[in-house]
Each structure stands twice: as C-alpha cells, then as structure tokens.
Amino acid sequence: MQSHKAFKLLLWCSCLTFASLLDQGKGEKCSKYSPTLQQTQVGFGSPPTFMARVHNNCPMCPVINIHLKCGNFSQALVNPRLLKVISYNNCVVNSGFPLSPLQTFSFNYSHPKYVMQPATWSFQCE
C-alpha cells in the first residue's frame, strides 16, 4: 500500500517536471508577466500630450510582436517605427522588435487620450 502511494507520488512529480520543461519551451514561464501599458499626461495644451509606456514585465525573456488594441489611433501622431497602425484597433509596438526583460518602451502623442491595451505578444524564451 505504502509503496503504491510512493509510486503514484513519483509519477506525479515526474509529470510536473515534464510539464514545466514543456512550459519553458513555449515561454510560459512568463505567463504571469503580461506586458502592460501605462499612459501619463505630459503636456497640458490643446490637444494634450500623453506618454505611453509599454513594459515587459517578464524578468526572464524578451517579448516580441506586441500588438495593442488602439482604437482608431492615427498613424500621423507617431513615428511608425515606434507604433505602427495596422488596422482599426490593431497597432504594433517597436516594429515588432524585442523588448528586453523588464525593458520599458515609450512613445508620446498629442491627441485626446486613446484607450490602449496590449492585445497579443510572444515571449522569446530559450
């Protein structure tokens, strides 16, 4: 009885190990660390200026291809290398290039505030 339990435990442990190996391959060790976007008003004219800061919260892996929900953000407001408007509600940060672990990437725009949120991204774990 005792050894049967021990065997079950062993099996369970090795499954966990295996699962965590798979996770690392797919970059899921960053799954708790979604990139975030914060906006701060830095200009108080008309229109106001906002500084948008996209942060890679994962301390382990670079993140690439961050797409934002960006409403009808206008390409005329920002250099497309910083933020490329693909279509309605779909913008790409930093031309899709990597943000290092814990890197913050920022761009400014002068317009009434757009509500923006990261929509999709990929972590590049070893």
Ligand X SMILES: *[C@@H]1O[C@H](CO)[C@@H](O)[C@H](O)[C@H]1NC(C)=O
Site track for ligand X across 1-40, x = CB under 6 A: ----------------------------------------
Task: Give me the least distance between CB of 58 and ligand X, in Å please.
Answer: 22
Instruction: Count residues near ligand X (CB under 6 A).
Output: 7
Judge if the upstream peptide bond of residue 47 is cis by omega within 30 degrees of 0.
yes
Q: Does 96 bind ligand X (CB under 6 A)?
A: no
CA-based torsion, 92, 96, 101, 104: positive or negative: negative
Q: How far apart are the C-alpha atoms of 113 and 110, rounded to whole Å? A: 8
Residues 101-120 that bind ligand X (CB under 6 A): 106-108
Specify which residues 40 forms β-bridges with: 51
